[in-house]
Amino acid sequence: MSVHNKILAEQLESIGTLLRLAGENEFRAIAFDKAARVVETCDRSVAQAVLDGTYTSISGIGPGIARDLNAFITDGKIPVLEELKARIPAGLLRWLDISGLGPKRIRKIHEELGITELADLKAACADGRVAAMSGMGVKSAEKILKSIEWMEKFADRCTLDEAWEAVIPFRDALAQLGGVQEVEVAGSLRRSRETIGDLDLLVSAEADVAASILDTFATLPEVTEVLARGESKCSVRTTAGRQVDVRVVAPEYFAASLMYFTGSKEHNVALRGRARERGLTLNEYGLFPLDAQGNADLANPMPIETEADAYEALGLGWIPPELREDRGEFEWIRTHQASDLVDLHHIKGILHAHSTWSDGAYSLEAMAQACIDRGYGYLGITDHSKSAGYAGGLSVERVFAQWKEIDALNDGYARAGVDFRILKGIESDILTDGRLDYDDDVLAGFDFVIGSVHNVLDMPVDAMLERFKRAVDHPACRIIGHPTGRLLLRREGNAFDLDALIDHAAAAGVAIEINASTWRLDMDWKYGPHARQVGLMSSINPDAHETDGLDDVRYGVGIARKAGFGPGSILNTKPVDELVAWFKSR
């Protein structure tokens, strides 16, 4: 009964996908797609309704779907899904992760070329067999090949949310063990890198309990293989395929070790250089004075109780973990403090979210309520525009109908004394010539417009820059969405001159978002120094298509901090009246 609607919906969606992959009746696949949407957007527990027989009151769930759901709720498996997995070669299931290659095309290639493995598909794209197929062509083959190469390059990496999901059970389990004084996530995950390889945990405990801590760690339910084991360190492979490394250090070394194992290699090299200049040496256990012969005096470590103590001993202020990349943080800390960076508590509302008006999973009211529940003061709803037919883009008539619903909801909040407002936004497609979707009179009716590129992503770089510039120049455009269009671990972004777009947008008073979806995290944080220099405004936007997606804001905050942004550079740190005034100021 505790199975979440989202989990049930994922099972139904998987059935629809595999039915297409198996060449089954399309109408049957569509039925599972529709049922998945019904389940995901249902405002009550579908599992409970299935078990107590009240599912008949949920439009779209018939007896057949109910039987499938009941099987999953009670046994953890759906027979039709298991049968499909058994029928379909395992190699083809991997093809589903290839950007732009859907189940119908996968089946077509499999049947016509008789191949099932990723390596075979890669060879067929390279030697022209895929390009020669009807409906494919050279460009399609090249895109598939690029996506495969991208997947192979990052096979051992995962997105930020996947990394946190994998590491939290280990962190929490270790924190409960006797003798453990502190447990912290370290490495690239603590630095909020866009994608993560190995997961690092640092444990503070005395040496006499280190072995028992590692023994327990190695036998946790999430562990499928022990990769290496020593006196103070253990590396394991999880059931999800991730590598988790745990290191146990004595309490007196913990702060310095946390600093050492958080910073990038380049950051640590710079720190060791600063230590040498001060007659010290830095290693994974702490800071030590150098003796007359230039050797570390390991018997007399510097008294380091916190990371701030370690940085202070090196003549620095405390550098926030996100900045520890040796990309200007040592200069930044001379004139700034850690508190100058934007933080999650600064975010006052949500911009860029989708509802069932286009391709979102939840109603407009449900998305607004989820924002209220999280303490936000506004929701800028930005469903897709009319050209995005693939995503249920809004016709002009539907735009006006959505505005009426927004007005009615806002009136209801006002009457009930709820301090919350829904803003009328749109994610307008930037057409290939740079025009925004909809005529000017319609665009003028929105509170704000996000201009985004969703198609023809392979334009020449100069043409793509001009496309964006023309959109920026439109007076209705207030934010540029996910500028490079990248999908992390799946495809590269557009290679146009983003610095030039930053210059143009800053001069025009248009923001460029940090899209907080863990598949995007776009604008890239590396453009932060230039963006700050020219005074660009940004906005930390979850691009949420469901209520849980609103929480992706925290990943965007991490990227904004890496970029060095303070709250004054982020639009949605503004109260709603100030934000609306900014939107109208152009």
pLDDT tens sequence across 311-369: 999 999 999 999 999 999 999 999 999 999 999 999 999 999 999 999 888 899 999 99
How wide is the angle at C-alpha 27 spanned by C-alphas 26 and 31, nearest 5°?
A: 120
User: How far apart are alpha carbons 138 and 130 in whole angstroms?
Assistant: 8
pLDDT tens sequence across 190-228: 999 999 999 999 999 999 999 999 999 999 999 999 999
- pLDDT for the residue numbered 1: 43
With a cut of 90, say whether residue 538 has pLDDT above it.
Answer: yes
Q: Where are the beta strands (DSSP E) in 173-239?
A: 182-186, 195-196, 199-204, 223-229, 233-238
- For residue 507, what are its two tokens? 């001069």
Structural domains in the chain plus CATH codes:
5-153 (1.10.150.110), 158-249 (3.30.460.10), 259-338 (3.30.210.10), 344-584 (3.20.20.140)
User: How far apart are alpha carbons 556 and 514 in whole angstroms?
Assistant: 6
The mean pLDDT of 121-136, rounded to a whole number, is 93
Q: Which one, of 322, 326, 337, 320, lies nearest residue 273 by Cα? A: 326
With a cut of 80, say whether residue 389 has pLDDT above it.
Answer: yes
Question: Which residues 6+ apart lie within 8 Å of 32 measured at CB?
Answer: 12, 13, 15, 16, 19, 65
The mean pLDDT of 145-154, rounded to a whole number, is 79
Amino acid at 269: V
DSSP 368-380: HHHHHHTT-SEEE
pLDDT tens sequence across 232-244: 999 999 988 899 9
Burial class (CB in 10 A: 0-12, 13-18, 19+), 54: exposed
With a cut of 90, say whether residue 586 has pLDDT above it.
Answer: no
154 pLDDT band, cuts 50/70/90, is low
Tokens 């004139």 map to which residue? 335
pLDDT tens sequence across 553-562: 999 999 999 9
pLDDT tens sequence across 560-580: 999 999 999 999 999 999 999
Residue 217 has, within 13 A of its CA and on its CB side, a CA count of 37
- pLDDT for the residue numbered 2: 57
Q: Is 540 within 8 Å of 565 (Cβ atoms)? A: no
- For residue 491, what are its two tokens? 């495809």
With a cut of 70, say whether residue 80 has pLDDT above it.
Answer: yes
143 pLDDT band, cuts 50/70/90, is confident
User: How far apart are alpha carbons 316 and 336 in whole angstroms?
Assistant: 11
* pTM exceeds cut of 0.85: no
Tokens 């960076």 map to which residue? 341
pLDDT tens sequence across 6-49: 789 889 999 999 999 998 988 899 989 889 988 887 878 899 99
Amino acid at 174: L
The mean pLDDT of 124-147, rounded to a whole number, is 91
pLDDT tens sequence across 409-439: 999 999 999 999 999 999 999 999 999 999 9
User: How far apart are alpha carbons 453 and 125 in whole angstroms?
Assistant: 27
Mean per-residue pLDDT over the chain, rounded: 94
With a cut of 70, say whether residue 500 has pLDDT above it.
Answer: yes
User: How far apart are alpha carbons 61 and 40 in whole angstroms?
Assistant: 12
